[in-house]
Structure 1
Amino acid sequence: MKTRLREIREAKGISQRELARRLNTSNASISRLENEEASALIKLDRAARELGVTLYDLISDRPTIAADMERLFLALPVEQQRAVLDLARSLAAQQR
């Protein structure tokens, strides 16, 4: 299965050259992205979902939201951790 990059780029009226310029890359790179199979990307997306993160989380160098939350939570005093847990439980209960 191929990506929809070409289809979407053309629908937006953007040339390969212009997209390459915007991304600071070559036309050849854009062409490869448009013509390569998306199977590796699909597998990464499935892995991300299985792990409860986004595809961006897997390929970026920034910490995941969960890691950010954990780091911030653990930096809090115990009484504030309890308050945060109470709030989270309350919000989760409202979503049910």
Structure 2
Amino acid sequence: MAAHTERDELAEADIEATWRSRLRRVLLADPEAAEELRLLLAELDPGAQSEPPASVHNTISGGVQNGPVFQGQHFSRLTFGGSGAVPSEQGDGAM
């Protein structure tokens, strides 16, 4: 932490290499430790999801779309500007 706080990149790299080497030796000596480490990391990861992400399938049909189309999840506070007018080349009878 001190090396990070002091922005000592060389010391940070040395410390990281030392810990990486220690972890590698522990995991090679005790393969069950690898699973324990995975469980610990999953527990500490605030972004970890217990369920796989949901899939989204959108179908756009019915001719020309004159506006934005988004595919995804959890959209909020979206604002779109525009006149809503259909460009003349795409008006009635356009193919």
- Give the TM-score normalised by structure 2: 0.29
**Structure whose residues are more often helix by fraction:** 1
- Give the TM-score normalised by structure 1: 0.29
Task: Work out which structure has the larger RCO, using CA pairs closer than 8 Å and 6 or more positions apart in sequence.
Answer: 1
